[in-house]
Amino acid sequence: MIKVKNLYHSYKKDDIYQVKDVNFEVEEGEIFGFLGPSGAGKTTVQNILTGLLEIHKGQAEVAGYDMKNISKDMFNKIGMSFEQSNVYSKLTALENLKFYAKLFDVETRDPKDLLKLVGLEDKANMRAGEFSKGMKHRLTFVRSMINNPIMWFLDEPTTGLDPSIAADIKNIIREKNKQGVTIFLTSHNMFIADELCHRVAFIVDGEIKLIDSPRNLKLQYGDKMIEVDYIKDGENINDSFSTILNEDKKKLKEIIDNYEIQTMHSKEASLEEIFIKVTGRGLV
Amino acid sequence: MFKKIWTIFLRDLKVNIKDFLSLYILLIPFLFAIGINLFTPSINDTTVNLAFIKEENNQLVTYMEQFAKVEEFDNLETLKERVERRDSMIGIVPEEGQYYIMIEGNESDMDIEYSKMLLGLYETGLNIEDSKTEIIEFGRTIPPIKKTLVNTSVLFISILAGMLISLNIVEEKVDNTISAINLTPTSHNSFLLGKSIIGIIFAIFGGLALVYITGFGAVDIGKILIIISVSTIISILVGFIQGLINDDIMTAAASIKLLFLPLIAAVLAVEILSEKWQRFLYWNPFYWAYKGNDLVLNKSGSWGQVLIYAGIVLFLSGIVYVFLAPKIRKGLE
């Protein structure tokens, strides 16, 4: 669905590239996570793939369309949910969706159904300017579904949402993916990527450092740990031990044999920890 | 394509009706027209109005009707009330077998002298047939100040059309919605045309409303439409540019106001300067638009003349378009 080859981009159109030699492919029906800290080049790549930015060097193909020579018809097939909400504040939620729907050449979804999907049905006739940040974000999110896209770009889809709404959004993403929609998810939130993505790419300073599935990454880079709470000399102690290092294994056995264990959990390395390990950079 | 252009126009119209500043701009042609009617003399003010007491001297009234517009009142009190109104009305009031002239004080000296003369002519028994004087009417049926104001206002409305577009573009920028539009199959040209329609319709309907309300309804509508349409192009272009480079409504509106300078310069040049100095304003599209409008409002311009003026305005606007169009397209990316 997406093919990117030797992609470069410079905002100043000089030799200092913000995106350098990016290569990857996204299969049809896949949820592909594009992960990295702020300023890593995630949004730049996404904007190139949605036609908002031009390609300076390299090649990109989205849904069968060459991004160097974009056909307007491509926009009937893609949808994009922006990180920053961008809806008309002087129009109501319903008017926003109805207006946007009329700009497509394909059959569009019923705006009322979409509002219901994200719990905004009661606010349909309220001006978007009076919405909270989270409500605007939900409106921006469902607007991106209005043309039934087969390729769906999501930029930080759950940022700023309370946990229950974020869970609803994640369920919608899963549901759309089950229906065959390919999803390109940009985020610095490793938890959502871990939950949703089939594969992830780590991008830092405009370069992709690694692409793999979260499971493979954990197997390859994550040390399995055991977290133990035990009582020693009347004192409650919490400690972690590697299941790979012999020294840690011995220590753990000694604790089990000699002390009263309160709780004991196995703990996998998180995607965030792996990102730091691989790239040497945090996600902020 | 047309469906999308229309959709964009309807959205702008909906928002403009909800927004106080835009709504105020939409009402300006009507406010201007009412203001012009109130504060400029009407066609009736070009003759002398005389007030008499009813049945007091029918012969005198019949005599005066040959030379002036006459109104009759039931008594001295109502006559006095009429004279005291704002416009020019002179009372001819009987007193002890003679007549005196009653005025409010704002009547012109010419009207007062004319009334005195008419009264003298009646008393000496002279009739219009005795007169050897020939009165030539130069075809001037509208006061020149009114025509100047209407002409200037029509061009002013075209600038407001640019301001309206600018406000709508700033709204798109503030809400960050242009990027969302760019992710639909709507082309830049459709977007630009859709955004322009509100300005074009406002300039045309506002201009026509002003022309009709101020009493110029008998002019050739086709000719005035041509001049209004071409003179709006430059305002629309500037409206787009100012909308794209400014981040708030007030700054954009203030920037658009700069267009009033060439407009005022054009009006002053045509009305005050001699022909040889006017050549310094040939670069100014408003100069040619004003001259074209003047011909149309005078009902003295042929289609050929109007098309020449419209062509010059179109040419000058085309030059501005060549410079501004790439900037507008870049601003929409």
What is the signed CA dihedral for B151, B156, B161, B167, rounded to 10 degrees?
-170
- Shortest Cα–Cα distance, A35 to chain B (Å): 22
Whether B329 and chain A come into contact, CB under 8 Å, resolves to: no
**Of B18, B179, B333, Cβ closest to residue A82:** B179
Q: Which of 78-137 (A) contact B at CB < 8 A?
A: 78-80, 82, 84, 86-91, 95, 99-100, 102-105
Residue A172 pLDDT: 93
Residue A223 pLDDT: 67
Is it the case that residue B6 has pLDDT exceeding 90?
yes
Q: Is A181 within a domain?
A: yes
Residue range B44-130, CATH number: 3.40.190
SS3 percent helix, strand, coil of chain A, rounded to 5, is 35, 30, 35
Residues of B in contact with A147 (CB under 8 A): 184
Can you tell me the distance from the alpha carbon of B270 to that of B287, in angstroms, rounded to the nearest whole number?
7
Residue B139 pLDDT: 46
Q: Is A53 within a domain?
A: yes
Q: Is A282 within a domain?
A: no
CB atoms B185 and A52 under 8 Å: no
User: What does B183-244 look like in DSSP terms, one character per residue?
Assistant: TTT--HHHHHHHHHHHHHHHHHHHHHHHHHHTT-TTS-HHHHHHHHHHHHHHHHHHHHHHHH
CB atoms B176 and A84 under 8 Å: yes
Can you tell me the distance from the alpha carbon of A109 to that of A115, in angstroms, rounded to the nearest whole number?
11
- Give the domain-ending residue among A143, A174, A191: A143
> Among A90, A107, A125, which would you mutate to test the B interface (most chain B Cβ atoms within 10 Å of its Cβ)?
A90
In terms of domains, do A228 and A256 share one? Answer: yes
Encoded tokens for A43: 């949004």
Residues of B in contact with A51 (CB under 8 A): 182-183
Q: Is A278 within a domain?
A: no
In terms of domains, do A160 and A30 share one? Answer: yes
Tell me the residue range of the domain where A236 lies: 223-267
Is it the case that residue B97 has pLDDT exceeding 70?
yes
In terms of domains, do A155 and A136 share one? Answer: no
Residue A282 pLDDT: 63
Smallest CA–CA distance from A54 into chain B, residue: B333
Hey, is A283 helix, strand or coil? Answer: coil
Enumerate residues 6+ apart whose C-beta is below 8 A from B333. A52, B182
- Shortest Cα–Cα distance, B260 to chain A (Å): 29
Can you tell me the distance from the alpha carbon of B227 to that of B184, in angstroms, rounded to the nearest whole number?
36
In terms of domains, do A52 and A133 share one? Answer: no
Residues of B in contact with A89 (CB under 8 A): 174-175
**Of B7, B19, B174, Cβ closest to residue A99:** B7
Whether B221 and chain A come into contact, CB under 8 Å, resolves to: no
> Among A103, A125, A148, which would you mutate to test the B interface (most chain B Cβ atoms within 10 Å of its Cβ)?
A103
User: What does B112-173 look like in DSSP terms, one character per residue?
Assistant: HHHHHHHHHHHHHT--GGG--------S--S-HHHHHHHHHHHHHHHHHHHHHHHHHHHHHH
Q: Using pLDDT thresholds of 50, 70 and 90, give the confidence band for residue B138.
A: very low
- What are the residue ranges spanned by the domains of chain B? 2-40+143-332, 44-130
Of the two residues B38 and A100, the one the predictor is more confident about is A100
Encoded tokens for A223: 């040390």
In terms of domains, do A246 and A190 share one? Answer: no
CB atoms A86 and B18 under 8 Å: no
Q: What is the CATH number of the domain that holds A159?
A: 3.40.50.300
The number of folded domains in chain A is: 3
In terms of domains, do A237 and A104 share one? Answer: no
At A121, which amino acid appears? E
Q: Is A9 within a domain?
A: yes
Residues of B in contact with A79 (CB under 8 A): 183
Is it the case that residue B43 has pLDDT exceeding 60?
no
In terms of domains, do A150 and A215 share one? Answer: yes
Q: Is A273 within a domain?
A: no
Q: Is A109 within a domain?
A: yes
Per-residue pLDDT, averaged over B240-256, amounts to 82
In terms of domains, do A156 and A259 share one? Answer: no
Whether A241 and chain B come into contact, CB under 8 Å, resolves to: no
In terms of domains, do A50 and A97 share one? Answer: no
> B194-209 burial by CB neighbour count: b if 16+ within 10 A, else e?
bbbbbbbebbbebbbe
Is it the case that residue B133 has pLDDT exceeding 60?
no
Residues B207 and B223: beta-carbon distance below 8 Å: no
| pLDDT tens, residue by residue, B143-167 | 567 888 899 999 999 989 988 998 8
- As a whole number, the mean pLDDT across chain B is 84
Residues B44 and B69: beta-carbon distance below 8 Å: yes
Low-confidence residues of chain A: pLDDT under 70:
222-223, 280-284
| pLDDT tens, residue by residue, B269-295 | 888 777 788 888 899 999 999 999 888
| Number of inter-chain CB pairs under 8 A, A vs B | 64
Of the two residues B179 and A39, the one the predictor is more confident about is B179
Is it the case that residue B70 has pLDDT exceeding 60?
yes
Residue B132 pLDDT: 53
